[in-house]
Structures are given as C-alpha cells and as structure tokens.
Amino acid sequence: MPTVRTALLQSSGRLGDVTANLRILDEAAGRAAAAGADVLLAPELFLTGYAIGADIARLAEPSDGPSARAVAEIAACHGLAVGYGYPERDTERHGVIYNAAALFGADGAPLAHYRKTHLFGDFELKWFTPGDEPLVQARIGDLTVGLMICYDVEFPENVRAQALAGTDLLLVPTALMHPAEIVPLSVVPVRAFESQMYIAYANRAGAEGDFEFVGLSVLAGPDGTARARAGRGEDLVLGDVDPEALAASRAENPYLRDRRPGLYGSLV
C-alpha cells in the first residue's frame, strides 16, 4: 500500500482576519502539494485565530459557510485533503458555538466534521459548547483517518476509542501553550505507541494575546518516535504515514488484541 505524505502547517495566521488566513492556507497547500503531500493539517481555530475573545460571535460560521466552501476549493485546486480548525456557529441553536475541525478531500468533497469534546481553560469554557460525538472518522486512500482537537488527545480513553474503531492516522489540530511542551514532546508519541497509530499534531506558534503557543508540531509514528517535527516558529513540515510499517508495528505490539476489557469497568 502506498504511503500517505502528511503536511503540518505550524502557524497562528493573522488574528481575526479570515481572508488572510485562507490565503495562508492556500499558499501552504500549494507548497505541500508540490512536495507530494496527500494531506495538509492546519492548527486549532486557524481560520480566525485563537485569542479572539468576544469577536468569536462575529467570526463563527456554520459548517457549510463561506470559509468551508473556500477551503473545499483550496483542497480541490491543489489536489490534497485539507483539515483545519475554526469556530462553528450552530444554525439550529441560537448562540451556540463549537470549537470545530473540518476535513475536505482532494476533490473538495467534505469528509469529516468534529466538535471538540474536552474544552480547555476559562476562555474555551466561556465561549464554546462541548461537542458530544467522540468518534469521527473518514477515509483517505487506504487509511482510516480520525479527527480530534488539542486537549482531546490528552485523554488516553479518547485515542484508544479511535484505535478500537480502526483509525490509522489521527489528525489533531491544536493550540498548545507554554508550559505544556510535554504534550508534543512526550504525550503524543506515547499515545501513538500505546494505541498503535500515527498521530498528526499541528500547533500554533508564537504569542497571541495572553497566550504563548509552543509550536513543536509532530507526526508521531506507532513506534513512539517523531517522524516529522517542527521547531518553535512558523513552519511547514512533512512526514510519511506508511500502512505497511503500521501493520508490522501492530503485529509486534498487540496491545489492542491483548486487552482485557472486563477488567476496566471502573473506567466508566
């Protein structure tokens, strides 16, 4: 089976400027496609910026809004799947906004949509409603791809649920801040190893309002190593997801097969 080249866009874009951020995403998609990428992943709330405060009500869009259509065109134009984060306005529940992520295929068709289930900190708890659908998946080539957002991946139960559902590559747009560098440096690679999958973790970079994002975006492999790693600044890094290496790793590390769920009742 062919490898799937994955590009991670590490950028905070332009705060509050959706048009500029769509241009940045388009430019990154062009660079990623030229490097042979099949998938481009941008960070959490990439289209608007993270530290937008009350502007979130103005900048939030429905899942099929103009920005979604623009990203679909970017994906189709460059011929690669594109995943990104944005604030979603619920068109059926007035005033409800989700911290959401969307994934479009290389033909511009919508593949998956996810609402962050574990909100982090006072900012998110004030402005967002948590999602209640923990398992969202799609297909890209021969891979089953899952979606999560930032804090969600820090819960091992979340990632294990994806693994049990057959996820090969977990896409995680994120907005990780100092001093939590342990997450991309240690937690994400361990999650990939213990659940035997690849995890693509695309972070913001630099200062934004009261937040300081640490970068360190990573594509972690099922062996617990970083297959691609960004530094602290703006970057576009690429790494390959190898289905054959994943199958071999799962055979060598049979955590899913050797589980004893009957012993884990206390977890729920």
Residue among 61, 88, 124, 150 flagged as catalytic: 150
Q: Are 239 and 185 in contact (CB under 8 A)?
A: no
Distance between CA 180 and CA 169 in Å, rounded? 23
Tell me whether residue 150 is one of the annotated catalytic residues.
yes
251: Cα separation from own chain's centroid: 26
Considering only CA atoms, which of 77, 24, 46 is closest in space to residue 213? 46
Distance between CA 268 and CA 266 in Å, rounded? 5
C-alpha separations of 208 from 43, 151, 172, 178, 234 in Å:
14, 18, 20, 12, 13
Tell me whether residue 77 is one of the annotated catalytic residues.
no
Q: Are 151 and 224 in contact (CB under 8 A)?
A: no
End-to-end CA distance of the chain: 37
Distance between CA 161 and CA 163 in Å, rounded? 5
Residue among 116, 124, 154, 208 flagged as catalytic: 116
Bridge-based pairing state of the strands 198-202 and 169-173: parallel
C-alpha separations of 104 from 24, 26, 198, 237 in Å:
17, 13, 19, 20
- Catalytic residue ranges: 44, 116, 150
